[in-house]
Amino acid sequence: MNLVDSTQVNSTLLSSETASSERTLYPYVTGTSVIGIKYKDGILMAADMGASYGSTLRYKSVERLKPVGKHSLLGASGEISDFQEILRYLDELILYDNMWDDGNSLGPKEVHNYLTRVMYNRRNKFNPLWNSLILGGIKNGQKYLGMVSMIGVHFEDNHVATGFGNHLARPILRDEWNENLSFEDGVKLLEKCMRVLLYRDRSAVNKIQIAKITEEGFTTYPPYALKTFWNFSAFENPTVGAEGSW
Amino acid sequence: MGTTIIGVTYNGGVVLGADSRTSTGMYIANRASDKITQLTDNVYVCRSGSAADSQIISDYVRYYLHQHTIQLGQPATVKVAANLVRLISYNNKNMLETGLIVGGWDKYEGGKIYGIPLGGTIIEQPFAIGGSGSSYLYGFFDQAWKEGMTKDEAEQLVVKAVSLAIARDGASGGVVRTVIINEEGVTRNFYTGDKLPLWHEELEPHNSLLDILNASVPEPMST
């Protein structure tokens, strides 16, 4: 039985299924790093709410962490329009899953696999969805946290990040993550990473969203800003004695 | 070195302002840089564009002005300093990529600002803006600039403007540095994020989400 039956629409402006093949060359509106960690009760994820248009910080209230079904949480960086398209695909996936009405529901492992296939197949057609995705969830007590890149590279781990998070956050997580993080400790750890990203990632915006997924379900916390520290004496007069330097 | 730099005249002197972010690609190499550089006791320059190019021009001009001051027997004028910067920028236009704002005070003309964009044009202006963040400030200055401001009004305007640019330009950020130059001398100031106003869609900073969740009284909503 053809489970996902996509009826072909005639080539119109609404679909990109035209005779000529297209390829995505570069992204336009992009989100920056997402960080995810496993903790005692499930998965915690953090991302800022910024979407840049080149070097302009154009949109500052974009939600980049979204629930998928009952058991999963998706965070995305990269092109926002592609992320929105992925949310549509997932919507359809969950809909069909619910239509079975068999008491079973797709868990994070299955959703991660679906996303991997989608991303890899698009990559093979030279028309990638320009995103790095983090998929986390918990089902029947089993925690799962994985990542998929725009070319279909995928893996799972206890802590994952996209973009700059890989370079700035993961080293902190490798040092300080442990199996039994409480919610409070998990949040503080994520905030430590997000603060470093604020200091050192040009496309970071100071408005952060934290979301978690536990056996009970998905919770997203209201957006907030982090305090940053600038009062080092070296910052106040950096060029004393070395005029012309930076 | 994406940047926001500003120079503004007021009745008695000039106020120079800049952000403090230096980036290599998307990485912030220095989050507390000093882009307002001294040329003489009474003339400073705001640097934007290539950090290397702007630094070497400042170094040369500082060297020439030092000799000029000895020969002249009195402080160099802002106009001379600006023209030296122009000469180097113009004669090496194919190799350099830097936009500069020269500002200072001298006893003949008082406070003066000279904008020296790419190519080496020199243009005396009541106020000048430069760097990648300046794109976001043209409309703001068209509306907010006025002749004959006081020292405090001028500094407030500069701090507000740099902070607005930082809010929208990814290449600008960090702290706002200002340098005020007048007959009395030179004053350097340093404004960190918590001392700057919050703009649209920006929120009050906190130490942690846990403080918000544990707060007994709910905070006022804001977008």
pLDDT digits (tens, 9 = 90+) for B104-123: 999 999 999 999 999 899 99
The rounded Cα A242 to chain-centroid distance in angstroms is 43
Is B120 strand, coil or helix? Answer: coil
Residue B24 CA, chain-centre distance (Å), reads: 20
Contact: B62, A243; criterion CB under 8 Å: yes
Could you tell me the pTM of the whole model? 0.85
In a domain, residue B70? The reply is yes
Distance CA A237, CA B181 (A): 17
Residue the block writes with tokens 């960086």:
A77
Distance in angstroms (rounded) separating the CA atoms of residues A101 and A176: 42
Among the partner residues A56, A231, A245, nearest to B168 by beta-carbon distance: A56
Confidence band, pLDDT 50/70/90 cuts, at residue B179 = very high
* B189 touching A (Cβ < 8 Å): no
- Asked if the structure places residue B33 within a domain, the reply is yes
Beta-carbon contacts of residue B141 (< 8 Å; ≥ 6 apart): B127, B129, B161
Residues of chain A contacting B188 with CB distance shorter than 8 Å: 237
Closest to A168 (Cα-Cα) out of A135, A132, A134, A201: A201
**pLDDT surpassing 50 at residue A9:** no
Q: Does B50 touch chain A (CB under 8 A)?
A: no
Q: Which residues of A179-194 are buried (b: 16+ CB within 10 A; e: fewer)?
A: eebebebbbbbbbebb
Average pLDDT score, chain A: 91
Interface list for B 71-100 with A (CB within 8 A): none
Is B37 assigned a catalytic role?
no
Q: Is A224 on the interface with B (CB under 8 A)?
A: yes
In a domain, B212, yes or no: no
Superfamily of chain region A29-44+53-158+168-226: Aminohydrolase, N-terminal nucleophile (Ntn) domain (3.60.20.10)
> Among B168, B171, B202, whose Cβ lies nearest the Cβ of A206?
B202
Angle at the Cα of A30 from the Cα atoms of A25 and A36, rounded to 5 degrees:
120
User: How many domains does chain B divide into?
Assistant: 1
From chain A, the residues in CB contact with B5 under 8 A are none
Specify if B52 maps to a domain: yes
* pLDDT band per the 50, 70, 90 thresholds, residue B136: very high
Chain A residues touching B203 at Cβ < 8 A = 206-207, 223-225
The answer to whether the CB atoms of B206 and A225 lie below 8 A apart is yes
3-state secondary structure of B104: strand
Structural domain includes residue B76: yes
Query: Are B59 and A206 a contacting pair at CB < 8 A?
Result: no
> What's the CATH code of the domain at B62?
3.60.20.10
Whether A3 has a pLDDT exceeding 70, the answer reads no
Residue, of A243 and B3, whose pLDDT is higher: B3
Hey, is the C-beta of A164 within 8 angstroms of any chain B C-beta? yes
Instruction: Compare A6 and A234 and report the one with higher pLDDT.
Output: A234
| Average pLDDT, integer, range A20-35 | 84
The number of beta carbons lying within 10 Å of the beta carbon of residue A8 is: 7
Say if residues B36 and B177 touch (Cβ distance below 8 Å). Answer: yes
Identify the H or E element spanning B55. Answer: helix B51-72
Task: Say what the ipTM of the complex is.
Answer: 0.78
The pLDDT tens digits of the residues spanning A192-222 come to: 999 999 999 999 999 999 999 999 999 999 9
Q: What is the pLDDT of residue B182?
A: 96
Task: Indicate which of B209, B210, B211, B222 best probes the interface with A, i.e. most A CBs within 10 Å of its own CB.
Answer: B209
Model pLDDT for residues A59-105, shown as the tens digit of each residue: 999 999 999 999 999 999 999 999 999 999 999 999 999 999 999 99
Chain A residues lying within 8 Å of B173, measured CB to CB: 202
Give a yes or no: residue B206 inside a domain: no
Strands A65-68 and B127-130: unpaired
User: Could you give the CA distance from residue A19 to residue A114 in angstroms, rounded to a whole number?
Assistant: 27
Say whether residue B168 is in contact with chain A using an 8 A CB cutoff. yes
CA of residue A89 relative to chain centroid, distance: 16
Full 3-state SS string of chain A: CCCCCCCCCCCCCCCCCCCCCCCCCCCCEEECCEEEEEECCEEEEEEECCEEECCEEEECCCCCEEEECCCEEEEEEEEHHHHHHHHHHHHHHHHHHHHHCCCCCCCHHHHHHHHHHHHHHHHHCCCCCCEEEEEEEEECCEEEEEEECCCCCEEECCEEECCHHHHHCHHHHHHHCCCCCCHHHHHHHHHHHHHHHHHHECCCCCCEEEEEEECCEEEECCCEEECCCCCCHHHHCCCCCCCCCC
- Give the residue numbers spanning the domain of B186: 5-198
- B181 domain residue, yes or no: yes
* pLDDT tier for residue A10 given thresholds of 50, 70 and 90: very low
Comparing alpha-carbon positions, the chain B residue that sits nearest to A60 is B201
In a domain, B87, yes or no: yes
